[in-house]
Amino acid sequence: MRVDIWSDIVCPWCYIGKRRFEKALAGFERRNELQVVHRSFQLDPTMPKGQLFRHRDVLMGKYGMTEPQVAAAQSRLVELAATEGLEYHLSRSYTGNTLDAHRLVHHAAGQGLQDAMIERLFRAHFTELKSIFDNESLTALAEEVGLTGSKEVLTSDAYAADVVTDHGEANRLGASGVPFFLIDGRYGISGAQATEVFAGAIRTAAPR
């Protein structure tokens, strides 16, 4: 059985959803039979590469919120993440174009390091406030998980088309945001649902 997970590296709900899904999977007795594939989705592919933007400013512009409103929402999200064992520092976070980070995740699939790579990128962004938007930082993060060939990938356009294809497939499946989970090609789950929701879907989809 296969589970496809669409996410964006700068999406705080995606990291929470990943952790909740993992908790559900840990309670599935046949988890070794399940293949997890991480797919790409860019919340804003139009962001110029090479530039950083304060995340609060982006949210204020996108949703028409005031800074105190954004600060309060981020504070609630930090508390929620903590209940899943995640450490967020959203008040000081910056965002940017995630194409290159997604290209690394695609590259990691060929070396069996896809989950390790996306996990490292999430932690770097949300917990450590490290850049995931420049080649030097991305290469260092890739080397930490044992991924080879990252420098060559980042200085080319390798996997860029795959990122676009992933995003388009998510849209065709009806996903306008992330995280989005497709279990066994049949059961779609939108959002960072409760662990129990993921657990129930996995059991339902599992071959008898």
The pLDDT of residue 65 is: 96
* Tally of domains within the chain: 1
The pLDDT of residue 33 is: 86
Averaged pLDDT, 81-97: 97
The pLDDT of residue 61 is: 95
Averaged pLDDT, 87-98: 97
Condensed to tens digits (0 to 9), the pLDDT of residues 35-88 reads 999 999 999 999 999 899 999 999 999 999 999 999 999 999 999 999 999 999
- Beta pairing class for 187-190 and 180-183: antiparallel
The pLDDT of residue 198 is: 96
Lookup: tokens for 194: 């409760």
Condensed to tens digits (0 to 9), the pLDDT of residues 139-191 reads 999 999 999 999 999 999 999 999 999 999 999 999 989 999 999 999 999 99
* % the chain with pLDDT above 70: 100
H or E stretch covering 1 = none
Measured CA to CA, the distance from residue 170 to residue 166 in angstroms comes to 6
Lookup: tokens for 169: 């497939």
The pLDDT of residue 121 is: 98
Domain containing residue 59: CATH number: 3.40.30.10
Measured CA to CA, the distance from residue 154 to residue 150 in angstroms comes to 6
H or E stretch covering 17 = helix 12-26
Averaged pLDDT, 108-123: 98
The pLDDT of residue 206 is: 85
Residue with structure tokens 């080397």? Answer: 143
Measured CA to CA, the distance from residue 15 to residue 142 in angstroms comes to 18
The pLDDT of residue 26 is: 94
| Helix/strand/coil percent split, the chain, to 5 | 55, 10, 35
The pLDDT of residue 174 is: 94
Flag whether pLDDT at 208 surpasses 80: no
What's the domain range around 17?
2-205
Q: How far, in whole angstroms, is CA 168 from its chain's centroid?
A: 16
Q: Average per-residue pLDDT in the chain? A: 96
